[in-house]
Amino acid sequence: MTSPYELPGEAIEGFDTLVELALDLSGTWKHATDRIWRELDTTLWNLTHNPWAVLQAVSHEKLARTLADPEFRNRLDQLVRLGREQHVGPSWFEQNHPGAPFTAVAYFSMEFMVSEALPIYSGGLGNVAGDHLKAASDLGVPMIGIGLLYQQGYFRQLIDSDGNQHALYPYNDPGQLPITPLRTANGEWLRLQIVLPGYSVWLRAWQARIGRVTLYLLDSNDIANYPAHRGITSELYGGDAELRLKQEMVLGIGGWRLLEALDLHPQVCHLNEGHAALIVLERARSYMQRTGTDFKTALTITRAGNLFTTHTAVAAGFDRFSPALIAQYLQHYAEEKLKISLADLLALGRSRPEDDDEPFNMAWLACRGSGFINGVSQLHARVSRHIFQPLFPRWPTPELPIAHVTNGVHMPSWDSAPADALWTRACGKERWLGCSEPLAMSIRHLDDATLWQFRTEANRELVEQLRERLAHQLATAGATPEAIESARQVFEPRIMILGFARRFATYKRPNLLLHDPQRLKALLTHPERPMQLVLAGKAHPADRTGQALIQQWVRFIREENVGHRVVFLADYNMQLTEQLVQGVDVWLNTPRRPWEACGTSGMKVLVNGGLNLSELDGWWAEAYAPEVGWALGDGREHADDPGYDAQEAEALYHLLEHEVLPAFYTRNEEGIPVGWVERMRESMARLTPLYSTNRSLPEYVERYYIPLAEAWRDRTADDGARGRRIVNRRRQLDRYWSEVAFESVETESDGHQHRFRACVRLGELTPEALLVELYADGVSGRAAICQPMIQNVDFSRSGEAIYETRITSYRPVTDFTVRLRPAPIDLISILEDPRILWQGG
């Protein structure tokens, strides 16, 4: 049995093929698979998009009749056969990296948005995680997902007639989810034990199949646990700090132990945000146990295989826990398992280890346990370097070791069936499988009539979906039959649809369009160039301000009598996202720069021919060009200045009035808006390949996974000899660093030729232990100058060394200073040893 529930058609020929299809979530982004489930139960499929639920609900008679249909069986068998062939055939990874130094990457995340059938996600973080796993399946990158199975997941949203948000928490019945329990060889359910203060927590393990990739999920709802402990995995992002810490212990500590129980040994661990930071401790503990090394050595060796991706654009967004809470839950673990003191543990999560009052920051722990850190857009990397500055005192911010991989989305998950057909005709079926063919050129060959007909149909389809969804929403809220019937008449095809859907938080400014309600109403009801607006999004149940923003929209719709042109759709989820990104003409994003780390929602419209109108933040700051969409803002930061918000609202109205709407409604004699279609074509051609996982995952493989796996291999070789050398060198630096100083720095200048001579007191250190550099800050947008200085081997005074260099520069000699730092022998970056000493201080 694959489920604790009895399935209706196990004895019917062909039923096992349906089970295989239902339990492989790679089918959720294949439009031909949708047709199979829709034929079995149209209503349930449209409501849930859950093939496993459909399979359990359909009657025995319907199954037998459908599976006896030769045409249905042929399509079913062909789908499964093609899926098997794709999963075992040569992949992008195998073809491009046949000798890769890793056999698996373990991807740890608090949430995964893989399918609406598996509601264990909230928003952007889960979106990135889910699309990353899907791309790994498509491209053949050996990857394992590790997450939590929430009993309730994120909340479901109900909006009453006054605009009040109500949070509902339906139970995630595992038997109705497309997952299977993990069992040992003798059939016993695989269960893990995590020791907490005074008791143990048992964790059950589940697996979800995503093509080539397996997502493992841990669940504390085990009958052997006390009732309170069964609720550790009760709710995503719910509860207090204590519950959050226990969840992160389950993810990090429990996640690594699950891999060991399954005899899986990933060389690389990818931490998707700081929630997974405890993996760095458990991975080090495991290495200690296997090799008998101490914690510092084990952490030095294992961090070489860890990657930390941060998605947070403000320091307050990181998880921080009080020292008392860390002591309560992790002191015994630190002392008994890691063999370190509580003070040593707390120091790993503090920017000032000696400050007993500083909270324990999971992002700081992730930094100190990883080989690389990356942000998720070019701008976000710059912002992150400022956020992480406390860990690198006295280092110039631009030099901090935080690069970026701009997110991409899994295009097959977000394209409509017509979009899929259009791209297939233009670029072929292999376009998102690592294909390096010039997709842009193929799309640019599509003619205006084809593209405009495609968009017109998408607009019409979305109008039908919105009408049906709004009617269902009103019926659920207890509206009158007249109101429900009226909902089936909202919106009109061929009128431009502007979409805004995301979490309702203040920094996202979801009410920027409401700055001048009458001006917005004029846009909506313009007699010649009207606009339609669809809104969706949830506010956190504890965020009263965010909930008030939703209320403002509901009241505007009602009071201004614009319900035929504006709708607010409740319960924003993956299914609604798909409908919106496939059908809107323009996607609007209005965050307060630079608080949107990336913002992937606008990427999803690209493949569907939608255009973006967005603040120059996140991905749009690097993607925008006038030929592909519209930009809001001046590309600078203005904090939360209400005056600037008003200025940007004015700019937004102006863009819509004078650029966006005129472009949409200016038609040629065939009724085609030629300028609009040209923007569509260029956006699809230029941006879709660039902001897909077809680009971002290979970038992770080549920039991070392969180098990390190589570093891990090097440090574990010869019983960890290189790791021990690094630790011994660091201990020597710890002991003698205070003795190092600049005795003198002499400069000579002859026009543009500068000569520098530094005398350094070494103490007990050798010259080889230090790197001396000449440095000048970057100016006028140019990079900083950093040039190594050469030791003068003729100088032999005991305990001192002379370093010299020459440089040709038009900058004055006073712009330059001399600095020294530990020699980066065997180190991945300054992340591993951020000590630095500057001339004169």
At 734 the pLDDT is 95
Mean pLDDT calculated for residue range 411-419? 96
Using alpha carbons, list the distances in angstroms from residue 63 to 10, 19, 59. 10, 12, 6
Distance, CA of 426 to CA of 422 (rounded, Å):
6
At 1 the pLDDT is 37
Mean pLDDT calculated for residue range 547-551? 96
Task: With CA atoms as reference, report the closest residue to 247 among 196, 190, 307.
Answer: 196
Instruction: Extract the tokens encoding 647.
Output: 């200025």
DSSP state, 823? -
- Confirm if 115 and 574 have CB atoms less than 8 A apart: yes
The shares of helix, strand and coil residues in the chain, as percent rounded to the nearest 5, are 45, 20, 35
Task: With CA atoms as reference, report the closest residue to 633 among 566, 588, 688, 585.
Answer: 588
At 642 the pLDDT is 87
pLDDT at 705 over 80: yes
Is residue 302 very low, low, confident or very high in pLDDT (cuts 50, 70, 90)? Answer: very high
Digit-coded pLDDT (tens) for 607-654: 999 999 999 999 999 999 999 999 999 999 998 888 999 999 999 999
Digit-coded pLDDT (tens) for 143-174: 999 999 999 888 999 998 889 999 999 999 99
At 796 the pLDDT is 67
pTM score, two decimals?
0.95
Sign of the alpha-carbon dihedral angle for 332, 334, 338, 339: negative
Distance, CA of 498 to CA of 614 (rounded, Å):
12
Task: With CA atoms as reference, report the closest residue to 585 among 640, 501, 664, 702.
Answer: 664
The CATH number of domain 437-691 is 3.40.50.2000: yes
Length, in residues, of the chain:
841
Distance, CA of 729 to CA of 726 (rounded, Å):
5
Of 191-200, 306-315, 534-543, 822-831, the one with minimum mean pLDDT is: 191-200
Please give the distance of CA 557 from its chain centroid, rounded to a whole number.
33
CATH number of 740-838: 2.60.40
Digit-coded pLDDT (tens) for 180-207: 999 988 888 899 998 888 788 999 999 9
Of 84-88, 455-459, 470-474, the one with minimum mean pLDDT is: 84-88
Mean pLDDT (the chain, rounded): 94
Distance, CA of 303 to CA of 372 (rounded, Å):
9
Please give the distance of CA 674 from its chain centroid, rounded to a whole number.
36
Digit-coded pLDDT (tens) for 343-359: 999 999 999 999 999 99
Q: Which sequence spans correspond to the domains of the chain?
A: 15-88, 101-280+306-323+361-407, 437-691, 740-838
Pick the CATH number of 101-280+306-323+361-407 from 3.40.50.2000, 2.40.110.10, 3.40.720.10, 3.40.1190.20: 3.40.50.2000
Digit-coded pLDDT (tens) for 313-337: 998 889 999 999 999 999 999 999 9
> How many distinct helices (H) and strands (E) make up the chain?
33, 28
pLDDT at 6 over 80: no
287: how many CB neighbours lie within 10 A of its CB?
21
φ, ψ dihedrals at 26, nearest 5° = -65, -20
At 47 the pLDDT is 87
Mean pLDDT calculated for residue range 395-423? 96
pLDDT at 436 over 90: no
Digit-coded pLDDT (tens) for 766-818: 999 999 999 999 988 888 999 999 998 776 677 899 999 999 998 999 999 99
- Say whether 740-838 and 437-691 share the same fold: no
Residue type at position 780: S
At 571 the pLDDT is 93
* High-pLDDT (> 70) share of the chain, %: 98
φ, ψ dihedrals at 205, nearest 5° = -125, 140
Q: Tokens 């930071």 label which residue?
A: 277
Digit-coded pLDDT (tens) for 217-263: 999 999 999 988 999 999 999 889 999 999 999 999 999 999 999 99
Helix (H) or strand (E) holding 106: strand 105-109
pLDDT at 2 over 50: no
Strand pairing report for 105-109 and 753-761: unpaired
pLDDT at 554 over 90: yes
pLDDT at 4 over 50: no
pLDDT at 437 over 70: no
Task: With CA atoms as reference, report the closest residue to 720 among 732, 731, 708, 712.
Answer: 712
